[in-house]
Each structure stands twice: as C-alpha cells, then as structure tokens.
Amino acid sequence: MKSITFLLVLGGVASAAALDSSSCEKLKSLQPADAVFTTVELVPAGPAAAQGRGAEPAAAPAGRGAQAARPVLPAYCRVAATLKPSPDSDIKMELWLPADNWNGKFQMMGNGGWAGSIQGLNQMPTALREGYATAGTDTGHEGANGMFALGHPEKITDFAWRAVHLTVLQSKALIKAYYGKEPKYSYWNGCSTGGRQALIEVTKFPNDFDGVLAGAPANPHIYLHTAGVARSVALMKHPDGALSQAKVETLHNAVLAQCDALDGLKDGLIADPRKCKFDPDSLLCKANDNDKCLTASQVATVKTVYADVKTSTGEIVWTGFEPGGELQFNQLKTIPTTAAGGGWDSVRILGHQDANYDWRQFNLDSDLALADKSGIDTHVTDLTPYKKHGGKLLLYHGWADPGIAPGNTVNFYNKVLGTMGGGKQDDWMRLFMIPGMLHCGGGNGTDQFNKIAILERWREQNQAPDQILASHVTNGQVDMTRPLCPYPQIAVYKGSGSTNDAANFSCKMQ
C-alpha cells in the first residue's frame, strides 16, 4: 500500500508546556502526502457545545439550563483533514491536540453502523478532558447506509480498514510534529462497528495500538448482516406471528421464572443465558388465544429469534439472541414484509452491486459467499503479532444485546484460544460478558465502568483485570454495583448482604 504519512518538515513545533495559537498554526506548514488540511485552529477553553464539538447531553439536570450540562473542554489544537489515498477516496478525519497538560497518549474512537460521519466527535471531548490527543474518522463517506459502496470499490476499502489505519498514521505524525515526540501509548476505543474496526486493527496492523477496547464487535460485518436478512425472511413465513407487548412480557416472565435463579440469585438478571434451556412451546395456547399464552405462529417467531442462523451445511453464520432480553427484541413485535435497511445493503450493494436486487431471490449460502468477497471483515483468529507487540485486548459484550447477538463474541474468543493455545492467553486478552446490558450500554445490568482506565492499568502497569467493578445508574444515581468477571467466570452471590453491593459477590466458575 502506498504510504501517505505526513512529511514532517519541522521538528516539534513547541514544547508541551508552551503550546499556543502559533504552535497550532505552524502545523499548516507540514506537507501532507495525499491529504488536505481543511481546518487547523486553536480552540479556546469553553463548553463543548458552544464550540460546535461533541455531543449535546440528552437532558440537563433538573432545574438547570442545558448550558450547565455541557462539558467544559480545555484549549486544544483542532486539525481536520481529508485523506485521499485513491482518486475516489474522500476520508474525513479530526484530531484534537491538548494545548497543555497532554498525558503523552493517543486515543482513537470507533464508529457505529455504516459510519458515514465522524461519530467519534461524541466521545472525543471525554478523552480530551483526560489529557489525550484524540481522533476519529468518517471512514470515507457520508450517510448511514451502504449506498456509498455502489460502484466504488476504493470506498469499500476505505470503510473496511484504510480510513482507520491512515487516520492513525496521520494522527501520530501530527502528534510528533506538535509535541516533539510520539505518543508513549496508543489506545483504541470502539463498540459495534468500532468493535469490528478494533479486530481489524489488531489483525492487520498490530503495531497501531498498545491497548484495544472491542465492545460488541460487528465482525464479520457481512455475516452479521446476512444473518439478519435470513432471520427476517424466516420471520416472514409466519406473518401473523407478532407478539403484543403483553405477550412479550409473558414470555420474558416465563424465561425468568425458569432461568433467573440458575446463577444462585433471583434478581432479574441471567448471568449466563446459554444455560437457560427455555422451551417456547411451554407457552402454546391450549384453548383460546390470550395475553398469557402464544399462538403456534408466535411460538415460531420466538424460536426464530432465539435460533442460530446456519448455512445449509450447518455452519453458524451468527448466533441467536439470548433468553432474558425479550423486552428489547423488536423482532418479536414486528414481522417484516420486505428486506430493508443496513443489513440488506450488505447483500444487494456489497454483494451484488445492484440497488434493485430482489430480496425474494435471497439465498443465504450464495449471498453470504458473494458479499464476503468484498473483503471488509477479518476472519483471522491468530493474533500472535499483536500479542508479540505487547498489546492488550479487552473484549466486552452485553448478554441482552438486541442488536448484535452476543454469542458470536464468545465464539470468536474461543476460536482465538483454540488457534493460539487454549487458556494461556489471559495475560493479553480477556472477555467480559455483561448480564442485562444492551447494545454497548444500557439495560438493567451494571453497564457503567471506566473501560479506558482499566485498559491503561493493564497495559502500562501490568494490572490485569481479574474483575471489574461496574455500576448501574438511574437518574444520575448509582443504585447497584456488581463485579464483571472474565469469561467464563460469573458473579456469584456470597449468600448475605445487599444484592446491590458488589462486595457481596465473587467471580467463580459455574
């Protein structure tokens, strides 16, 4: 691949203790290869929203205006650039460089869905306040669907891996130019598509990052989306199979009644849903249809949602959704009438390069194989180069994820162990499965924990996370704490004390 790193015609433009607007302006004198600066400016300290950077809070604290909830950012040098590694490329990136109190580190943010914007701008304010030089990219296109890939193979490559990798290279070059030295540690922070990007970085470019957070990885992207289409087609076979909200609650309560206490505590959380052998047939209506039972078509719907999607030869394309998350499974309540959305784009655009491809011609085996030729995923499970680099990989996924069924992450972890040597890999790779957590966060489980700090301690101080203290927050108040345990351990109640206090749990095999 052609190198497009910045040509550094300057040494470090200033010491970290004396970086001002002129220091930021001097970055313009760098000569970028295959890149164009669109903005180089010193942004003064102030509320993030007032600067047009970062995400607006969902709501201001009660009795206070929205301005009070906006995070205040320190002064920073903002660099926006467009990268053009090919004539058809149009990769947008942003890098924020703390004007003072740089912690000597670099943190890059991942994307979600089809990307199509610099979604990292929502997380970069937090990293900036913690002293990081921080960056994000739009992966080379605009819009939250796959239409950009129609007739644009170079843009597919940009989305797949090139935009992220080149943003890393450009960011590190600019960091060295601005501060006079390279970052001591570099970290990746991503969930969903950001989790897929994490695994591609670890496999294709093991030296890019020293620590990687890979949450709910949407990898292989093609397998995830093709499985989603296959599940939709299966649901269409029972058009009268949608469950009402009342019936979804009946189903959920029946699952909890059978499986909640399997981990030794009845608390509304199933520690390992794979041990829940709930049979939807147990709810089949014996007489008249009512809210406390399911019709035959509704039972079929539930089974489809729980079931792994498999090829004709029995290969698991993607695992099914896990018992315990029913209240968030929209597939139970809405039966599709056509294939649509982002998943379908992977089949019709990445696969067939045909926006009008008829979903009624869908064939799981052939469409999966065709779309997979786009090369946007990684199927590598030998991560030895990243391990030799000294990198740490922290995987996490919510058991109640309604968007990306979590069993695939467990399968990936086990495949890596199988490839690299069984249980001897926990010195550099660990997986944390989180009961009750939804997609990348939310839910009734303990989804709040300082992921990047945990990764830092592991990489920089060799303090491996034997367990993680996590919290559940309601209306801004912590109402439950639990230990998150490295897979395959689970949090087990000690038998006394508050079940909302992590001190009364320990991580054990079960």
Residue 1 has pLDDT above 70, yes or no: no
In the block, which residue shows the tokens 């979903």? 359
Q: Indicate the SS3 state at residue 481.
A: strand
Q: What proportion of the chain, given as a percentage, has pLDDT over 70?
A: 91
Pairing, β 477-484 against β 35-43: unpaired
In the block, which residue shows the tokens 């058991």? 399
Q: Residue 206 in contact with residue 380, Cβ under 8 Å?
A: no
Q: Give the sign of the dihedral formed by CA 27, CA 130, CA 192, CA 421.
A: positive
For Cα atoms 69, 74, 75, give the angle at the middle one, nearest 5 degrees.
130
For Cα atoms 74, 75, 79, give the angle at the middle one, nearest 5 degrees.
120
Residue 374 has pLDDT above 70, yes or no: yes
Q: Which amino acid is at 405?
A: A
Q: Count Cα atoms within 13 angstroms, Cβ side, for 213.
A: 24
Span 459-486, pLDDT tens digits: 999 999 999 999 999 999 999 999 999 9
Region 81-87: mean pLDDT is 98
Q: What is the pLDDT of residue 71?
A: 79
Q: Nearest 5°: phi and psi at 90?
A: -150, 65
Q: What is the pLDDT of residue 160?
A: 98
Residue 161 has pLDDT above 90, yes or no: yes
Average pLDDT over all residues of the chain: 92
Q: Residue 368 in contact with residue 221, Cβ under 8 Å?
A: no
pTM to 2 decimal places: 0.93
Region 274-282: mean pLDDT is 97
DSSP E strands, 116-235? 133-137, 185-191, 211-215
Q: What is the pLDDT of residue 49?
A: 52
- Quick check: bond before 488 cis, omega within 30? yes
Catalytic sites, residue numbers: 192, 401, 439
Position with higher pLDDT, 311 vs 22? 311
State how far the Cα of 169 lies from the Cα of 8, in Å rounded to an integer: 12
State how far the Cα of 316 lies from the Cα of 2, in Å rounded to an integer: 37
State how far the Cα of 177 lies from the Cα of 11, in Å rounded to an integer: 6
423: which residues sit within 8 A by CB, 6+ positions away? 417
Q: Which of 402, 474, 440, 452 is nearest to 193 (CA)?
A: 440
